[in-house]
Structure 1
Amino acid sequence: MEWLSFLLDLKRKKAELDKLKTTEDEDWKQTYDEQLEALNEKISELENEKNEYVDLVTEAEQERDLYFQQYKTSLWRVNQLEEAIRAGKFEDTGEEDYPGSYEDLPDWVDKNLSGRIFLHTRALKGLKKAKFEDLDLVCKALQILGIEYRSMRQGIQGGKEKFDEKLKELHLEISGSIDLSRAGQEGEQYFVRYPTANSPRQFLDSHLRNGSKKDDRYCLRIYFFGI
Structure 2
Amino acid sequence: MSECTEQYPVIRPGKPILFETYRFRGRAGCLIPKEGRFCATRDVVIQWVKDKLDQVPLPEALSQGEEFSLDFYGQIAEGVNLPERKLWTVRMTQPDVGLPGHIDPVPGCSWISDLSVMEIDGQVEFGVKITCSYLPDRKALPGFIRPGIIRRLAHLVGLSQIRPVDGKVWDLLSPEDLNDLEGFLCSKERYLPVVVISQTDGPDPSSEQSYLVDGDHLAKDLIGYAHVVRMNWDLSLLWTDMVGVPWTVSNGGVRIYRPGLDFDADQYQSHPLMDKDRIRRWMGSADRRDNGYVQYLSDFLKSFPARTSLSWGGLVFVPEARLIAREERAKAPMEDQVARNEALEDQIEALKLLLEATRSDRDEYLAMAESALRETDSYKEELFSLRNSYITLQAMWESRTGQSVDDELILPDSYNHMAQWVSDHFTGRLKLHPRAVRALKDGAYEKPQLVAQALMALAKEYRDVKLGLQDYSVFQERLQEIGLDCRPSISNESAGKYDDRYFIPISQNGRDRTLLLDNHLCKGVSKDRSLCLRIYFLWDNSRDEVVVGWLPSHLPNSKS
TM-score by length of structure 2 reads: 0.30
* Matched residue SS, 1:225: strand
- For residue 485 of structure 2, what is the amino acid of its counterpart? E
Q: 2:523 aligns with which of 191, 200, 210?
A: 210
Deviation at 1:192, TM superposition (A): 1.9
Distance 2:442 2:385 in 1: 26
Deviation at 1:209, TM superposition (A): 2.2
Q: 1:50 aligns with which of 357, 365, 368?
A: 365
Distance 1:148 1:111 in 2: 18
Alpha carbons 2:484, 2:523 under 8 Å: kept: yes
- Shifted more, 182-191 versus 66-75: the winner is 66-75
Paired residue for 2:476? 164
Paired residue for 1:146? 459
Count of residue pairs brought into register by the alignment: 202
- For residue 57 of structure 1, what is the amino acid of its counterpart? A
What pairs up with 1:92-107 in 2 under 5 angstroms? Answer: 96-107=409-420
Q: 2:488 aligns with which of 176, 180, 195?
A: 176
Q: 2:504 aligns with which of 178, 191, 195?
A: 191
Indicate whether 1:112 and 2:428 are aligned: no
* Matched residue SS, 1:102: coil
Deviation at 1:95, TM superposition (A): 6.3
Deviation at 1:142, TM superposition (A): 0.6
Distance 2:468 2:420 in 1: 29
Q: Residues 36 and 214 from structure 1, CA distance in 2 versus in 1: closer, same or farther, beyond 3 angstroms?
A: farther
Distance 2:384 2:444 in 1: 27
* Matched residue SS, 2:439: helix
Deviation at 1:70, TM superposition (A): 8.7
- Shifted more, 55-64 versus 136-145: the winner is 55-64
Greater relative CO, 1 or 2 (CA 8 Å, sep 6+)? 1
Alpha carbons 1:152, 1:163 under 8 Å: kept: yes
Q: Residues 207 and 105 from structure 1, CA distance in 2 versus in 1: closer, same or farther, beyond 3 angstroms?
A: same
Long gaps (5+) in structure 1: 1-18
- Shifted more, 133-142 versus 34-43: the winner is 34-43
Q: Residues 194 and 215 from structure 1, CA distance in 2 versus in 1: closer, same or farther, beyond 3 angstroms?
A: farther
Paired residue for 2:379? 64
Paired residue for 2:244? none
Distance 1:187 1:34 in 2: 50
* Matched residue SS, 2:521: strand
Deviation at 1:147, TM superposition (A): 1.1
Distance 2:473 2:451 in 1: 21
Paired residue for 1:130? 443
Deviation at 1:182, TM superposition (A): 4.1
RMSD: 4.5
Distance 1:59 1:215 in 2: 50
Alpha carbons 1:73, 1:114 under 8 Å: kept: no
Q: Residues 39 and 106 from structure 1, CA distance in 2 versus in 1: closer, same or farther, beyond 3 angstroms?
A: farther
- For residue 135 of structure 1, what is the amino acid of its counterpart? P
Q: Residues 223 and 60 from structure 1, CA distance in 2 versus in 1: closer, same or farther, beyond 3 angstroms?
A: farther
List per-residue Cα deviations over 1:6-62 (Å, max 9, x = no partner). Answer: xxxxxxxxxxxxx98532333333334444455556666636973895598389559
Long gaps (5+) in structure 2: 1-332, 542-560
Distance 2:371 2:499 in 1: 25
* Matched residue SS, 2:511: coil
- For residue 64 of structure 1, what is the amino acid of its counterpart? Y
Distance 1:221 1:41 in 2: 57
* Matched residue SS, 1:138: helix
Deviation at 1:149, TM superposition (A): 0.9
Deviation at 1:136, TM superposition (A): 0.6
Deviation at 1:102, TM superposition (A): 2.3
Q: 1:29 aligns with which of 312, 328, 343?
A: 343
Distance 1:66 1:21 in 2: 68
Deviation at 1:212, TM superposition (A): 2.0
Q: Residues 72 and 206 from structure 1, CA distance in 2 versus in 1: closer, same or farther, beyond 3 angstroms?
A: closer
- For residue 343 of structure 2, what is the amino acid of its counterpart? K
Q: Residues 100 and 154 from structure 1, CA distance in 2 versus in 1: closer, same or farther, beyond 3 angstroms?
A: same
Which protein has the bigger helix share?
1
List per-residue Cα deviations over 1:190-210 (Å, max 9, x = no partner). Answer: 1221369x6321412222222
Distance 2:428 2:342 in 1: 67
- Shifted more, 100-109 versus 27-36: the winner is 27-36
Alpha carbons 1:202, 1:225 under 8 Å: kept: no
List per-residue Cα deviations over 1:128-172 (Å, max 9, x = no partner). Answer: 333323111111111111111112222334x32221112222232
Deviation at 1:174, TM superposition (A): 1.8
Aligned-residue identity in percent: 26
- Shifted more, 130-139 versus 63-72: the winner is 63-72
Alpha carbons 1:210, 1:219 under 8 Å: kept: yes
Deviation at 1:97, TM superposition (A): 0.6
Indicate whether 1:223 and 2:536 are aligned: yes
TM-score by length of structure 1 reads: 0.63
Deviation at 1:117, TM superposition (A): 0.6
* Matched residue SS, 2:525: coil
Select the structure of larger CA radius of gyration.
1
